[in-house]
Amino acid sequence: MVRRVSRSVGRAGTTLASFALVAGLLACSGPSGGMGWPPSTGAGPCQVTKQADVPARMRDGIVLKADVYRPAVHEAVPVILMRTQYGKAGADIQPSRLQTPSWFASQCYLVVVQDIRGQGASGGTFYEYANDADDGYDTVEWAAALPGSNGKVGMYGTSYVGATQWLAAIRTPPHLVTIVPTNTSSDYYQNWTYEDGAFRLAFIEPWTMGSIARSAARQRGDLTTVAELTEAVHNAASWEHYRPYASFPPLHPDDPAVAPYFFDAIRHPTYDEYWKRWSIRGHYDQVTVPVLHFEGWYDAFLAGGVENFAGMVAHGATAAARAGQRIVIGPWDHIGWGRPGSIEAPMLKDIGPVANSPINELMLAWFDHYLKGQPSGVAGSGPTVDYFEMGANRWRSSTAWPVPGTRFTRYYLGSGGHANTSIGNGTLSAQAPGAGGPTDTYRYDPSDPVPSVGGHSCCAAISGPQGPYDQGPVEQRPDVLVYTTAPLTEDTEVTGPITVTLYAATSAPDTDFTAKLVALRADGTALNLNNGIQNARLRTSLERAEPVIPGQINEYTIHVWPTSYLFPAGSRIRLEISSSDFPQFAPNPNTGQPFGTDATWQAADQTIYHDPAHPSSVLLPIVPPDDPAVHTSATFPIDE
């Protein structure tokens, strides 16, 4: 078990908290070979007993149920709390994610795992996000007063269970000391349900059918709906072709007991008050606690997780909260954390043990520091960013995000008028375009969208488009424009946010534009690093749609999600531009009708400009090589 964490110091004098990756960590993180999860090693000295279905009454009288794991100690101890919609018995353990509640309780913590409202054994009616702030506050204060508690509460958990932490934290419960939200976002419109106006189809539909709507139906005893949703989610790929979304049959649009939040989300395709009431990003100044964030480069909520870190550093309620921020970003998708039993994209799996997530040991050290006051080195003198540099396959550590000293470098799109496919003449260059350059054109047909090959969807590599894959087949389509640099003359690290500025015209009253950053390896493999999309009508504001005039040139900003990759000398940087990415995003029907109401579509003729008046480009975050003033190689030895 973790007892001491060393620190590394850059030559420029900046002290950086280091990161776990050597053999000692791997021994703690889990078994090798084909052994199962969770490992039985690393348990603490305390014997544990479990109390099931312990009731907690919320402010409106609804009773929620929790399992309480008690360590056999005489003194009062801190509480570690999870509030989950996925079943308290599961406790985010599988697939190969968190250790068991008993394991954490054996470290002499009082561990509480609660079913949220309308799920599992708890009472009330489930509606996404609606009750998690008040219920979270009430549960933190209830847990702090449990027999055996010393009044200090930390929270943990992944995905929606990260949302339950943030929604509680923005209400500032007095006894909440720290949170550890993992693979979760900053907002439940932007980069959760929608991404810059595009509906996240491959995530929202299967997740709603197979998880939250089905478990809520089970909680209220509606076994007929449970059976129907089970059958529907087995055919999720077929249902992803169904239109219109506003009458999606598996979720019973005429029965408000099944999934009213799904249809409310369809009725609110802009960032309006429906969504703002649950936003985290506008409330960092209410959060008083240090936060240990975990994210993955191909995770469904990476952009929001990075925003949470940066937002807390800039706007946290106290100096201690602002300084007490640490984020770990690994080569992971939403649930694949590199361990032998985890399921993830093959190229992530092939990285090997150096990529394994150290969340359990690092989280325990974090709780020991903040809840028990045991110096462990995991909390530095200021914010810390630990990130995995893909390509080099090594961990790096920095003091800020983006990495200090990053050189944001603009590369311009160009072509001889035929950037279509990987054998076209599209170029990517640091030289601004000259006069007289031709445009590139393609036809986007919503009935034949560009397929998603990898990406940052949810929730597993075998069920949704996520992770790195060779984009070669995608780049053979004429509706994909491909822009590529000359071979790089030196190793180039790209780490941070990526922005595409695109000057484009469409023949349709509405459409989408997509962008994908790709590493073209010397062997010809075209490895997707990350991607983004922008709805045309929401190009200037996610709050208000603005008409698109067919044929008019507009400027579009496409936010490609962050990445970290070392392009070796001889490789090339590539950018793909298109208008669809299915099923990661719902194909835009190009009709201009209200979202989710249209079962028809029309083709759109798209024109991309790259001339002096319309310099389409991508802004890349280039990190100077091996500058200790910028970042250090991370080392984080673990002593047992």
As a three-state string, the secondary structure of 336-385 is CCCCCCCCCCHHHHCCCHHHCCCHHHHHHHHHHHHHHCCCCCCCCCCCEE
How many Å apart are CA 212 and CA 225, to the nearest integer? 12
Q: Give every strand in the sheet of 176-182, ordered side by side.
A: 48-57, 63-71, 110-115, 77-84, 149-158, 176-182, 291-296, 325-330, 384-389, 394-398, 632-633
How many Å apart are CA 311 and CA 169, to the nearest integer? 14
Determine the pLDDT at residue 5: 35
Q: Which residues are designated catalytic?
A: 159, 299, 334
How many Å apart are CA 37 and CA 338, to the nearest integer? 12
Determine the pLDDT at residue 627: 63
How many Å apart are CA 279 and CA 185, to the nearest integer? 10
Q: Which residue has the tokens 């790195």?
A: 468
Contact in structure between 168 and 133 (CB atoms under 8 Å): yes
Residue 564's alpha-carbon distances to 300, 392, 471, in angstroms, are 16, 10, 18
Q: Two tokens at 582? A: 């299915």
How many Å apart are CA 237 and CA 252, to the nearest integer? 18
Determine the pLDDT at residue 632: 58
Domains, in order of start, for the chain? 1-30+293-402+627-640 (no CATH), 53-182 (3.40.50.1820), 198-268 (no CATH), 407-623 (2.60.120.260)
Q: Which helix (H) or strand (E) holds 307?
A: helix 302-315
Task: Residue 72: name the closest of 102, 33, 114, 29 by CA.
Answer: 102
Specify the pTM.
0.93
How many Å apart are CA 603 and CA 449, to the nearest integer? 11
Instruction: Determine the length of the chain.
Output: 640
Low-confidence ranges of the chain (pLDDT < 70): 1-35, 627-640
DSSP 253: T
Task: Residue 630: name the closest of 401, 403, 402, 394 by CA.
Answer: 403
Share of the chain residues as helix, strand and coil, in percent rounded to the nearest 5 = 20, 30, 50
Determine the pLDDT at residue 480: 98
Determine the pLDDT at residue 22: 25
Task: Residue 308: name the closest of 196, 195, 408, 169 by CA.
Answer: 169
Neighbouring CB atoms inside 10 A of 447's CB total 10
